[in-house]
Amino acid sequence: MSIPSRVTSHLHSLQLAPATIHYDLRRPRLYEEALDRNEGQLAANGPLVTRTAPYTGRSPKDRFIVRDASVADQINWGDVNQPTDRSTFNHLHERMAEHAEGRDLFVQDLYAGWDESYRLPVRIITEKAWHSLFARNMFVRPDGPVPDSFEPGFTVVDLCEFEADPERDGTNSEAAVFVDMGQNLILIGGTHYGGEIKKSIFSVLNYLLPDEGVLPMHCSANEGEDGGTAVFFGLSGTGKTTLSADASRSLIGDDEHGWSDRGVYNFEGGCYAKMIDITPESEPEIYGTTEEFGTILENVIVDPDTREPDFSDDTITQNTRGSYPLSTLPHTAEDGQGNHPDHILFLTYDAFGVLPPVSELTPAQARYHFLSGYTAKVAGTEAGVSEPRATFSTCFGEPFMVRDPSVYAELLGEKIRRHDVDCWLVNTGMTGGPYGVGHRVELDHTRAMVNAILDGTLADVSSTPDPMFGLSIPERVPGVPDSVLTPRQTWDDPQAYDRRARELAEAFADNFETYAGRVSEAVRTAGPSLETVHG
């Protein structure tokens, strides 16, 4: 197809002089290009299998944001949002442009966001065909041909084969994810991991949207037949994707959403699900996508003869991923939008076996736990981790939150009050003891708790307060043994539980000291304090 002049002129303005521009290619053509270029292999039933090693996940230490006068006071600078200057960015840009000269480039014009009032037009430029397919899967595609009026609000240039030089380029490694809000441009180099493309735009939305009164959220969302919407906050591994993919409800999205005055809307056109140990029994809808043409399987091992994927094989990484369009799933919201939520669920993987599997939160507790963003790392998932370790990721998405956390927390609190939203904390982690002693809360039990929240059953159930964390624990949940609901009762040694509970409560209190001077007294006292822990 002919390349629109608006595209060629834009690439020229970016100093990009490719040999060939492959513009707006559809899936079959991208498959052909990827296979012809040895970028991947076909798995049984049609997915494209790719490799991203040595980077099999995001590289947060390699992300930088240009610090200039327009953003200096708006961004929460630090280890997460590392500053760089415009001259360093421009130097890297020039070096990457030299790398791109004479190479083939793939260009997709897409949108971040289903709500036309707030969506961001994005142009994704890649040197890999499979990255272009990834972009088509993960962003919202125009309805029909790209309109002539399309102008990118932000551009991503992903040249994964380019390797940065820390001494020359001001980076920490050969990988680079550089964001310039002033030039509406993102540069990605040195990493093949597809997630950097979508998460870099998510970070941009986290910067732009609060000024429009929209709360950007690292969450999944679904809706019932009655239009009731539920939002699931959670970090990777807590069940965000699994629990929102419910055959009885329509999926709005599994990872990134905005909450505007019109309701909840998905930022994405696809899902990027963890695939490790997935089975048809445990997650039937997601498993079904692994047998579809158009799905990308990152770092999944396949049999060399049958090409059947082995989802239990973590030879390359535990973080195996599947990228697929929302349209692949059988139950989705066609317009990617939902009403204001009736329920917000904060998902956590508590490896200590201390937190109850389900508890109701007051509005103040919701803000406390939103700011805390607690989950836990367990032995074997990270070098040097031999015991469960509490970790806190503010707003359940600290790596992507560009502004001060209080900006997002205030927006959340305002929307909870305005729309009278019920909030819950759901522990999908351990019960009966810490990791290595107890066992993970059974998925069937967690699903039963979530169903009881969403159908209103728990609204009429009496609750018991947790003495250490102040949480309201329901006394019964249909389909769940009563003994499971109170974690202390699941431990063989109640005194050992008490010790672990104090340790976790102290970790909560220590972490929240960061926010103590920036929140109301009601929020500050909505969780454990050092006084109550040691009192």
List 128, 321, 403, 415, catalytic entry: 321
Three-class SS state of 406: helix
Which residues have C-beta within 8 Å of that of residue 130, sequence separation ≥ 6? Answer: 30, 34, 39, 40, 48, 50, 194, 296
Q: Which distant-in-sequence residues (6+ apart) come within 8 Å of 526 by Cβ?
A: 362, 364, 365, 367, 368, 470
Catalytic residue among 22, 58, 63, 136: 58
Reported residue count of the chain is: 535
Helical (H) or strand (E) element with 348: strand 341-348
Is residue 314 annotated as a catalytic residue, yes or no? no
Annotated catalytic residue: which of 236, 457, 464, 486?
Answer: 236
Estimate to the nearest angstrom the gap between the alpha carbon of 78 and the chain centroid. 21
Which whole-number Å values give the CA distances from 371 to 280, 320, 467, 508, 518, in the listed order?
35, 28, 21, 11, 11
Q: Which residue matches tokens 């079959």? A: 28
Query: What's phi and psi for 396, nearest 5 deg?
Result: 55, 35
Residues 6+ apart with CB under 8 A from 48: 31, 34, 35, 40, 41, 42, 130, 133, 295, 296, 297
Active site residue: 93, 199, 369, 445, which one? 199
Active site residue 119: no
DSSP 205: H
Per annotation, catalytic residue among 218, 343, 403, 445? 218
User: Is residue 264 a contact partner of residue 292, using CB atoms and an 8 Å limit?
Assistant: no
Active site (annotated) includes residue 241: yes
51 is catalytic: no
| Of 478, 494, 406, 521, nearest in space to 486 by CA | 494
Q: What are phi and psi of 101, to 5 degrees?
A: -60, 125
**Is 128 annotated in the active site?**
no
Residue 428 is a catalytic residue: no
With H, G, I as helix, E, B as strand and everything else as coil, classify residue 487.
helix
Which two tokens mark 483? 């003994």
Q: Is 335 designated active site?
A: no
Q: How many helices (H) and strands (E) does the chain have?
A: 16, 30
The one catalytic residue in 241, 372, 394, 490 is: 241
CA distance 423 to 360: 6
Taking a C-beta distance cutoff of 8 angstroms, is the pair 190, 163 a contact? yes
Residue 199 catalytic? yes
- Catalytic (active-site) positions: 58, 199, 218, 236, 240-241, 255, 321
